Amino acid sequence: MTEPISIDIWSDIACPWCYIGKRNLEKGLEAVAADEDAPQVNITFHSFELSPDTPVDFDGDEVDFLAGHKGMPREQVEQMLSNVTGVAANAGLEYRFDLLQHTNTVKAHELLHFAKAEGRQHEMEERLMSAYFTEGKHVGRIDDLVDLAVEVGLDADRARAALESEEFLPAVRQDQAQARAYGIQGVPFFVVDGQYGISGAQPPAAFENVLRDLWSKRGESETETAAV
C-alpha cells in the first residue's frame, strides 16, 4: 500500500493568509479526491507565532495593532485589510476585522498540541481560526480557549489543566525551532514529504498539481521496485 503524502503546515491562528491557505489546500484536496487513484495525505499543523510580544488583552482594534506594529499609516492598513477580506471571500471565508480581538496566540498553540494528542487537531485548528477571524471571539485567554475546546469534543478539565500547566509549551517551542531550522520566516508554509516547501496562500490548483505529481511519482517508484 502506497505511503500517504505528508503535509506539515506552519501557521498562526492569527494569520489571515494561513486561514485562506488552509481553505485553498482543502479545496485542492477535494479536487484530487475525485481522481481514480486519489492521493492519500496526512496533514499536521505546527506552531508559528507572528507577534509573540503581543499582550493577551490588546487595547485597540486590528488597525491600531498593525499601524503600531508595522508603522504603516492607518489608511494603508485599512486598504490592506480590505484587500485581505476580499481574498478571503473568494476562498469562502467571511472575515470580520471590525470584530476581531487581537491577542497573544501562544495559549492557542498549546491548545492545538493538546488537541493533537487527543486526535482533534484539525477540528481545533478550524474552530480557532473561525472564532478569531469570523466571529470576533477572544482566543488568548484560558477560559475562552477551554470553551472552544469543548465545542470540538475535548474534555474541559483536561484542556484547562494542559493550558494552566503549560504542558504543551515545549512542543510549541519545538515547532518554532524546526521552523527556524527550515528557514521559515513567514506563514503559511507547507512542507510536503519533508522536502518540498510551498510558501504562502497558494491557489487550490497549486496544491492539486503538487499532490498529483508526487503521487504519480510515488506510484511509478513502487512499480519499479516491484519489478526488480
CATH superfamily of 5-227: Glutaredoxin (3.40.30.10)
**Residue 17 near residue 84 (C-beta atoms within 8 A):** yes
Whether the pLDDT of residue 221 is over 80: the answer is: no
What does the domain layout of the chain look like in residue ranges? Answer: 5-227
Q: What is the pTM of this model?
A: 0.94
**Residue 200 near residue 184 (C-beta atoms within 8 A):** no
pLDDT digits (tens, 9 = 90+) for 104-158: 999 999 999 999 999 999 999 999 999 999 999 999 999 999 999 999 999 999 9
Whether the pLDDT of residue 228 is over 80: the answer is: no
Residue 94 grid coordinates:
467571511
Alpha carbon distance 219, 228 (integer Å): 15
What is the phi/psi pair of residue 23, to 5°?
A: -65, -40
Give the dihedral sign, CA 191/196/198/199: positive
pLDDT digits (tens, 9 = 90+) for 145-190: 999 999 999 999 999 999 999 999 999 999 999 999 999 999 999 9
Which residues, listed in sequence order, are joined to residue 197 by a DSSP beta bridge?
191
pLDDT digits (tens, 9 = 90+) for 20-44: 999 999 999 999 999 999 999 999 9
Q: What is the pLDDT of residue 195?
A: 87
Q: Which residues contact 61 (CB under 8 A, 6 or more apart)?
A: 97, 98, 100, 102
Strands lying side by side in the sheet with 196-199: 41-47, 5-11, 189-192, 196-199
